[in-house]
Amino acid sequence: MNVFKSCFSRDKEVVEFTARSSMIISPVSGRVTEIDDPNKDVWREQYSSGDQKDKSRIPFWNSGFSACPKCGERNMDRFEERAGIRYNGETYGTEVFMCKTKDCKWSTSFKFDDANTDNWHSETAGWPRGILHFPNTYLLMWADKHKLPPTVKHQIFIQKLDGNKILKLLEENKLAETLKTNEKMVKRIKKAIDDRHGCILLH
């Protein structure tokens, strides 16, 4: 075998090996075999399940996926189902959230994609950060987080105020009157509302 020929055959082996290893780490979406995925993870096409209404999903997302918008408990379970993996190792699929509170049964799902660095959940792109659609239970947790005084929390509780009502009262300059407080306190509440990450209700 001359030098030229031996170089050529070695190159061929390398090419074959590379092609085989790239096949193993990059299965075709929706057609994943046990050889592709030795961990036998669940692979499913992206889907939507459970409650898909903005009115519950926007506040749930703003809570940091931590509290159930139906029962108000911080009792959420989650799992991911991948739909595929790209040549660069990025995966995409569906993330499902389920409330574990007895008899609540609230659930939702979000499609995710590692390629979307700004919005891992593509469906949440452009959603507003804040207390929009917050139910009363969320608002009480939010008031706790921002250390609002018991008198303010008491009014939020007894008047069953939600995020939308607070935003409306603020717009109409009626917040001080409704919460039986002063303008200084309203300024503090407004600061809490404007805090982009202040709506996240994680412990």
Mark 47-86 with x for binding to Zn ion (rule: CB under 5 A) and - for no binding.
---------------------x-xx---------------
Q: At residue 113, what are phi and psi to the nearest 5 degrees?
A: -155, 120
Q: Least distance (Å) from Zn ion to the CB of residue 140?
A: 16
Number of chain positions touching Zn ion (CB under 5 A): 7
For 74-96, b/e burial (b = at least 16 CB within 10 A) is bbbeeeebbbbbeeeeeebbbbb
Contact 161, 136 (CB under 8 A): yes
CA–CA distance, 97 with 192 (Å, rounded to integer): 27
For Zn ion, the closer CB: 102 or 197: 102
- Per rule CB under 5 A, is residue 156 in the interface with Zn ion? no
For Zn ion, the closer CB: 58 or 148: 58
- Per rule CB under 5 A, is residue 101 in the interface with Zn ion? yes
Q: Least distance (Å) from Zn ion to the CB of residue 28?
A: 37
**Contact positions with Zn ion (CB under 5 A) in 134-153:** none
Which element (helix H / strand E) includes 199? none
For Zn ion, the closer CB: 76 or 132: 76
Q: At residue 168, what are phi and psi to the nearest 5 degrees?
A: -70, -45
For Zn ion, the closer CB: 107 or 155: 107
